[in-house]
C-alpha cells in the first residue's frame, strides 16, 4: 500500500528531538550522544517504529537507533518516539548504504532487519539488504560478538539470504521457517507487518547471523 505524504512532514521530522539530523558527526561517539556506555542496537528500515520503541521500553540498558530513509514513513513513527521515558532510542533519516559514514568499526552490537523489501527481480538482487555488499558493511560496524537478526515473510528472500550469508563465511543459528511455531518465538517482538501476517496464518522466517572475527 502506497503511503500518502503528510503535510509538513519534513518540518515535523527535522524538529523532532529523537531524530538525528547530523548523524555523521557522531561516528565513533554515539555513546556520548546517549550519555552512557550501553551496547548499541540498530534497526534498518524502522517503518512506523513500533518494533524498536518496544525494544527500547523493555531494555533500558540498551541504546537503539532506527534507520528509515523515507520521510513519509518516518513521520508516522513520531508518535511512538514521543514516549517521554524512551531516552534510549533515536532515529536517522538516511539510506543504509551510508552506514559506514555513521558508525565506527565495531560500534554496533546487533542489527535488526525486519521484513525488508524482497526486490523479487534477479536484476535487483544487489538492493536486497542481505546481499553480500551489505553484509560487508555490516561486518565492519559490528563488534566481534555482534550479530544480525533477520525476519521475513518472503521465502525466496529467506533462501537467498541463507545462501549469501553462508557463502560469504557468516555463521547462522536459530534458523526457522515458521517462527511462531518454533522454539525461538519466546521473547520475540513483533512488527506491525508481522502482526498482520501472523493474523493471516502466514509463516515467518527468521535467522541470526554472525561473522567470527579473528
122 is catalytic: no
Beta-strand ranges (E) seen in the chain are: 19-20, 40-44, 63-67, 89-92, 108-114, 142-152, 171-176, 205-210
Q: How far is CA 115 from CA 17, 24, 80, 93, 108, in A?
A: 27, 26, 19, 18, 21
* 3-class SS of residue 195: helix
Q: Which of 79, 117, 133, 178 is catalytic?
A: 117
Residue 135 inside a domain? The answer is yes
Residue 202 inside a domain? The answer is yes
pLDDT in tens, 7-32: 567 778 877 878 898 999 999 999 99
Q: What is the pLDDT of residue 1?
A: 41
Q: What is the pLDDT of residue 185?
A: 96
Q: What is the pLDDT of residue 5?
A: 57
Q: CATH number, domain at 117? A: 3.40.50.150
User: How many domains are contained in the chain?
Assistant: 1
Residue 26 inside a domain? The answer is no
Residue 113 inside a domain? The answer is yes
68 assigned ligand-binding residue: yes
95 assigned ligand-binding residue: yes
Q: What is the pLDDT of residue 81?
A: 85
212 assigned ligand-binding residue: no
Q: How far is CA 31 from CA 35, 70, 104, 142, 143, in A?
A: 6, 26, 12, 15, 14
Residue 30 inside a domain? The answer is no
Is residue 40 pLDDT above 80, yes or no?
A: yes
The domain of 45 spans: 9-19+40-210
Phi-psi region of 21 (alpha: psi -120 to 50; beta: other; left: phi over 0): alpha
Residue 29 inside a domain? The answer is no
pLDDT in tens, 128-166: 999 999 999 999 999 999 999 999 999 999 999 999 999
Q: Residue 57 and residue 49: Cα distance in Å, rounded?
A: 12
Question: What pTM, to 2 d.p., does this model score?
Answer: 0.93
Amino acid at each position: 500500500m502506497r503511503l500518502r505524504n503528510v503535510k509538513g512532514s519534513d518540518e515535523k521530522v527535522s524538529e523532532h528531538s529523537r531524530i538525528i539530523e547530523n548523524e555523521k558527526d557522531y561516528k565513533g561517539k554515539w555513546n556520548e550522544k546517549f550519555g552512557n556506555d550501553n551496547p548499541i542496537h540498530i534497526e534498518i528500515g524502522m517503518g512506523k517504529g513500533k518494533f524498536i520503541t518496544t525494544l527500547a521500553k523493555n531494555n533500558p540498558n540498551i541504546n537503539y537507533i532506527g534507520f528509515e530513509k523515507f520521510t513519509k514513513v518516518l513521520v508516522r513513527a513520531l508518535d511512538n518516539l514521543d514516549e517521554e521515558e524512551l531516552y534510549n532510542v533515536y532515529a536517522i533519516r538516511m539510506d543504509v548504504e551510508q552506514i559506514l559514514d555513521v558508525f565506527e568499526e565495531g560500534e554496533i552490537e546487533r542489527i535488526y532487519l525486519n521484513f525488508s523489501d524482497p526486490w523479487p527481480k534477479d536484476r535487483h538482487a544487489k538492493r536486497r539488504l542481505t546481499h553480500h555488499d551489505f553484509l560487508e558493511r555490516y561486518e565492519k560496524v559490528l563488534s566481534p560478538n555482534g550479530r544480525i537478526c533477520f525476519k521475513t515473510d518472503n521465502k525466496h528472500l529467506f533462501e537467498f539470504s541463507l545462501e549469501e550469508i553462508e557463502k560469504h563465511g557468516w555463521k547462522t543459528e536459530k534458523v526457522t521457517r515458521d517462527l511462531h511455531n518454533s522454539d525461538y518465538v519466546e521473547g520475540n517482538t513483533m512488527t506491525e507487518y508481522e502482526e498482520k501476517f501472523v493474523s493471516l496464518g502466514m509463516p515467518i522466517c527468521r535467522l541470526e547471523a554472525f561473522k567470527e572475527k579473528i
